[in-house]
Amino acid sequence: MMDKYPRIFLKPGRDASLSRGHPWVFSGAVAGVEGQLEPGDIVVAVTHERQPLALGFYNPASDISFRLLTADPTVAVDHAFWRKRIREAISLREKVLPGGTTAYRLINAEGDWMPGLIVDRYADYLAISIETAGMERHREAVVKILAEEMQPLGIYERSEGRARQLESLDEHNGAVYGEHPPPAIEITEDHLCFKVDIVSGQKTGFFLDQRTNRNIVERLSDEANILNCFSYTGAFSVYCARGGARRVISVESSEAANEIARWNIEKNGFSSEQCPVVKADAFKYLRETKEIFDLIILDPPAFAKAKKDVTKAARGYKDINLQAARLLREGGLLATFSCSNYISEALFQKIVLGALRDAGKSARLLQTMGAGPDHPTNLGHPEGHYLTGLLLIVTT
């Protein structure tokens, strides 16, 4: 089957990163291609010496010319190939997920060797997002296999946003299999109940990547007075309440998210006195409140969505971390996150350190945090590792 797919030729020496496990080849590394190739074609990447290296999706319209599907250049990318990949992804989740959890990331794109395919499970529904021209061509096979393997009531597609633009793809939203999801799906995460709107919520409805970090924070909550900034639908707050928080204030600017947060808090048996939800700009709130906290959670949206935003984003991170440090009691805890692709863990640590220093505080790192094991990433693929968090104990 060696000659089944056309070849793309890499420049001399430009095969190194692929060999080291990075799943992308950038356009500058491609010397030429065989024949007339269309976005999303499957190709064999070969070295300058014509040695076949790997199979992947090709897209001449994107900066990322090649996305790795398999290091075996002799396989056929057919229905059986996708079924095997999807089954592998499902069985990994069966291994790594805690009990009482019906919402999680089922397929994490490159991290599951399916470049550009994101599938999240929300109880009886799946939310799917297709972000590459290559995956777009296999939409039908993937939807069919997911329906067979997972038996959901429905599959809803939310293919939108920047990643698709970079691949020159249009938006595509709507039910692609079975029933249209209801406006509110009730899911459980570690035995807690949450309402999720997969049609119009942020991301695909819930920040599944923070699951393990919510457990970390829960264990630090007993008797604590907690501030949860950028709280979305209050997931961190509900865990804090279960962990015994004296009080946990959720601060979020979206009233639609706040309404769901209030519902989540009540549904899990906690009161609005213990868990008040405040509609506010977190930057402003942090600056204006006079209260002192035992624990502060900062989980802002990605401030840097592109490389050019990094400096501005760094200022944003610095600002909220500086303000939070001022509001912590001596020995208080700060759980601070960045989900900006372009802010590395090292850079984030530097920014937070600078913020604390400017606040006249010092901090010790208790642990670093990232996405849970239902979000696998390739070790050689730093771009896949976007969520980074620091748990700090802050003193003067």
To the nearest whole angstrom, how small is the minimum distance from the Cβ of residue 21 to ligand SAH? 30
Q: Which CB, 42 or 251, lies closer to ligand SAH? A: 251
Q: Which two tokens stand for residue 112?
A: 């599951």
Is 25 an interacting residue with respect to ligand SAH (CB under 6 A)?
no
**347 near ligand SAH, rule: CB under 6 A:** no
Provide the minimum distance between the beta carbon of 83 and ligand SAH in the complex, in angstroms, as a whole number. 33
Given the rule CB under 6 A, which of 175-183, 275-283, 346-354, 355-363 is the region that contacts ligand SAH?
275-283
If one asks whether residue 263 binds ligand SAH (CB under 6 A), the answer comes out as no
Per rule CB under 6 A, is residue 207 in the interface with ligand SAH? yes
Least distance (Å) from ligand SAH to the CB of residue 314? Answer: 16
- The question of whether 193 is a catalytic residue gets the answer no
Task: Determine, following the binding rule CB under 6 A, whether residue 122 of this chain makes contact with ligand SAH.
Answer: no
- Residues numbered 376 to 395 that lie near ligand SAH (CB under 6 A) are none
Asked if 281 is part of the footprint of ligand SAH (rule: CB under 6 A), the reply reads: yes
Of the pair 43, 343, the CB lying nearest ligand SAH is at 343
Smallest separation (angstroms) from ligand SAH to the CB of 257: 5
Among 24, 82, 122, 230, binds ligand SAH (CB under 6 A): 230
Burial class for 163, CB neighbours closer than 10 Å (0-12, 13-18, 19+)? middle
Compare residues 215 and 254 and give the one whose CB is closer to ligand SAH: 254
Out of 129, 159, 210, 323, the residue judged to bind ligand SAH by CB under 6 A:
210
**Is 171 a binder of ligand SAH (CB under 6 A)?**
no
Q: How far apart are CA 341 and CA 305, in angstroms?
A: 7
Does 215 help bind ligand SAH (rule: CB under 6 A)?
no
| 341 lies in the site for ligand SAH, by CB under 6 A | no
Choose between 15 and 252: whose C-beta lies nearer to ligand SAH.
252
Does 236 participate in binding ligand SAH (rule CB under 6 A)? yes
Q: Which of 70, 215, 253, 349 is the binder for ligand SAH (CB under 6 A)?
A: 253
Distance CA 138, CA 115 (A): 11
41-46 and 52-58 strand pairing: antiparallel
Q: For residue 57, give both structure tokens.
A: 């999706």
Q: How far apart are CA 329 and CA 188, in angstroms?
A: 33
Residue with smaller CB distance to ligand SAH, 255 or 330? 255
For residue 231, the minimal CB distance to ligand SAH (Å) is 6
Q: What is the Cα–Cα distance from 199 to 98, expressed in whole angstroms?
A: 26
List the x/- string, 284-323, binding to ligand SAH by CB under 6 A.
---------------xxx----------------------
CB of 191 to ligand SAH, least distance (A): 17
3-state secondary structure the chain: CCCCCCEEEECCCCCHHHHCCCCEEEHHHEEEECCCCCCCEEEEEECCCCCEEEEEEECCCCCEEEEEEECCCCCCCCHHHHHHHHHHHHHHHHHHCCCCCCEEEEEEHHHHCCCCEEEEEECCEEEEEECCHHHHCCHHHHHHHHHHHHCCCEEEEEECCHHHHHCCCCCEEEEEEECCCCCCEEEEECCEEEEECCCCCCCCCCCHHHHHHHHHHHCCCCCCEEEEECCCCCHHHHHHHHCCCCEEEEEECCHHHHHHHHHHHHHCCCCCCCCCEEECCHHHHHHHCCCCEEEEEECCCCCCCCHHHHHHHHHHHHHHHHHHHHCEEEEEEEEEEECCCCCCHHHHHHHHHHHHHHCCCEEEEEEEECCCCCCCCCCCCHHHCCCEEEEEEEEC
Candidates 43-51, 265-273, 278-286, 376-384 — which segment interacts with ligand SAH by CB under 6 A? 278-286
State yes or no: residue 57 binds ligand SAH (CB under 6 A).
no
Size of the site for ligand SAH (CB under 6 A): 20
> Which residues in this chain contact ligand SAH in the complex, by CB under 6 A?
202, 207, 210, 230-233, 235-236, 251-254, 257, 281-283, 299-301
| Residue numbers annotated as active site | 339
